[in-house]
Amino acid sequence: INDRHDNVILGDEEKILYGKGYIYDTLLDNQYKISLKSFYQINPIQVEKLYQTAIDLAHINQDSVVLDAYCGIGTITLSLAKHVKKIYGVEVVPQAIEDAKNNALLNKIDNAEFVCDDAGKYMVELVKKNIHLDVVFVDPPRKGCSEEFLEHLLQANPKEIIYISCDVATQARDAKYLNEHGYTITHCQPVDMFPHTFHVETVCLLSRK
């Protein structure tokens, strides 16, 4: 129910007319419980290719410590979990984090830790705790990353940044900023999410110079 007259799609109240109010889907061998207000990619075939491309680009192993910023219900986080020692997922939407924690339990994954917080501020907290991040995965909304977030990302100083974007213009803007502060794009791979439209997601690997 939304009586607002702006660009906000979902309101603060919803009523379930039929069913349980959530669905399940399988992605890269993990099962996900998806509630109403959780973000989820809607092209199941291509999203597996998108996430697998991101995983393949990252230089990770069983000793790697990774952060997934803007983690949503944990799809990227939990897809990465079996490849790394420890992974943190951070997201500001409480319902999404609740789903992510439930999805970790659902898939019996115990090396993923989910936190409801601002991604940039949480990265700084990890740095203060002397937790070194080898790779940071970033999959922001269409508006891209704020400069404040990018500054926090630079403080975390990961060896690599995997930047997934649904808007190549804001990704290019953010990549330019990161390039000016010590990172260079070493690989870029577009993935066609919606054929015959302009909606192409782009995965970039940025490596510390």
pTM of the model: 0.91
Residue 41 has pLDDT above 90, yes or no: no
Banded pLDDT at 14 (limits 50, 70, 90):
confident
Average pLDDT over the chain, rounded to an integer: 92
Helix (H) / strand (E) containing 91: strand 86-91
> Residue 10 has what pLDDT?
77
Quick one: residue 180, left, alpha or beta (phi over 0 = left, psi -120 to 50 = alpha)?
alpha
Look at the block and give the residue holding tokens 């490849």: 83
pLDDT tens digit sequence for 192-203: 998 898 889 999
Residue 39 has pLDDT above 80, yes or no: no
Q: Which pLDDT score, from 0 to 100, does residue 160 have?
A: 97
Q: How confident is the model at residue 4, as a pLDDT? A: 84
Residue 161 reports pLDDT greater than 80: yes
Residue 138, pLDDT score: 96
Q: Are 82 and 50 in contact (CB under 8 A)?
A: no
Rg (C-alpha) for the chain, rounded Å, is 17
Domains of the chain are 22-208 (3.40.50.150)
Residue 38 has pLDDT above 80, yes or no: no
- Residue 82 has phi, psi (to 5 degrees) of -70, -10
Q: Judge whether 116 counts as a catalytic residue.
A: no
Which of the 8 DSSP states describes residue 94? H
* Confidence at 122, pLDDT banded by 50, 70, 90: very high
Closest CA relative to residue 93, chosen from 73, 122, 113: 73
Residue-level pLDDT at 190: 95
Is the CB of residue 144 less than 8 Å from the CB of residue 88? no
Active-site entry in 71, 116, 145, 166: 166
- In this predicted structure, what is the pLDDT of residue 110? 96
Report CA-CA distances (Å) from 21 to 16, 92, 159: 6, 21, 41
The predicted pLDDT at position 103 comes to: 96
| Window from 3-7, 23-27, 113-117, 132-136 with minimum mean pLDDT | 3-7
How far is the C-alpha of 90 from the C-alpha of 77, rounded, in Å?
9
For residue 12, the model assigns a pLDDT of 80
